Amino acid sequence: MLRDKLGMAHISTGDMLRARVASAKELGNDELGKALAGIMQSGGLVPDELVNRMVEERIEQPDTERGFMLDGYPRTVEQARLLDSVLRSKKIRTVVVHLKVDYNVIIARLSGRRLCPTCGALYSVSSNSPVVSEVCDYDGSRLFVRNDDREEVVVQRLKAYDEQTAPVLEFLKRAGYRCFDLLGESRPPQTIAREIQELIQGALHPVRVEQA
C-alpha cells in the first residue's frame, strides 16, 4: 500500500534472500544459497557483509530515484553504520518508522500466515482466511507455511531482534535520524498505512506555517 501511495521502490532484504535461496534450490550448485537456507530456517540472522552488499547494489537501481523503503534492514548496528554512511554520502533524506507490536500478537500472526506458491497471495488464519481452508481463492493452489513462520522459528527470531535489532533504533536516534513509533496492532492496515504516508510526507516535505 505504501509503495503504491508514495511511488517509492520497496526493498525487502527478506525477499532478496528468499529469492537467492530459491535459486539455490533450483540450480543445486549455489553453496552460499544453501548456507542462507540453513540460517533462515533456523531463525538466525544472515551475516552483515552479505546483506550490506545486496542493499548497496539494490539502491543503485533506476527504480529508487523517487525514493525507496527499506523493509527488514538494518537489523544490526553494523548494518546501520554502513547504511548511515551510504545515506550521508548520497545526501538521502531519511525517516525511520518503528511499528510497535506485542510479541504474543507477532507470534500469532506469523504462525497463522499462509502463502500461495503460485500467485504469492498472503492469507491469515485469524483475519483473512481463504474461502476454502488452505486453498488459494485465486488459483486453487494449496497454501503453505513458510519455514521461518513456524512458531518455534518466530520465537527465535524475536530473541534475535531483542539482542541485535532493538539497539539499531538507539543508534539511528543518536545519529540524528527522525524516528517515529507507531502502534502496529489492533488497527486496520489501511489506517496504519495512511498514518505512515502522512508522517513520511510531512517529515520529508514539511509545510511551513508563518506566525502572525
pTM greater than 0.85: no
> Mean pLDDT score of the chain, rounded to an integer?
85
Interatomic CA distance for residues 151 and 125, integer angstroms: 14
The model's pLDDT over 24-61, given as tens digits with 9 standing for 90+, comes to 777 666 776 777 777 777 767 778 887 888 888 889 99
The model's pLDDT over 4-21, given as tens digits with 9 standing for 90+, comes to 888 999 998 888 888 878
138 or 110, which is more confident: 138
Q: What is the pLDDT of residue 51?
A: 83
Min mean pLDDT across 132-141, 170-179, 203-212 is at: 203-212
Confidence of residue 139 (pLDDT cuts 50, 70, 90): very high
CB 139 within 8 A of CB 119: yes
Q: Which residues contact 79 (CB under 8 A, 6 or more apart)?
A: 48, 51, 52, 73, 168
Q: What is the pLDDT of residue 29?
A: 67
* 176-to-71, 97, 159, 206 alpha-carbon distances in Å: 20, 14, 27, 17
Residue 96 has pLDDT above 50, yes or no: yes
Taking alpha carbons only, the member of 174, 176, 192 closest to residue 184 is 192
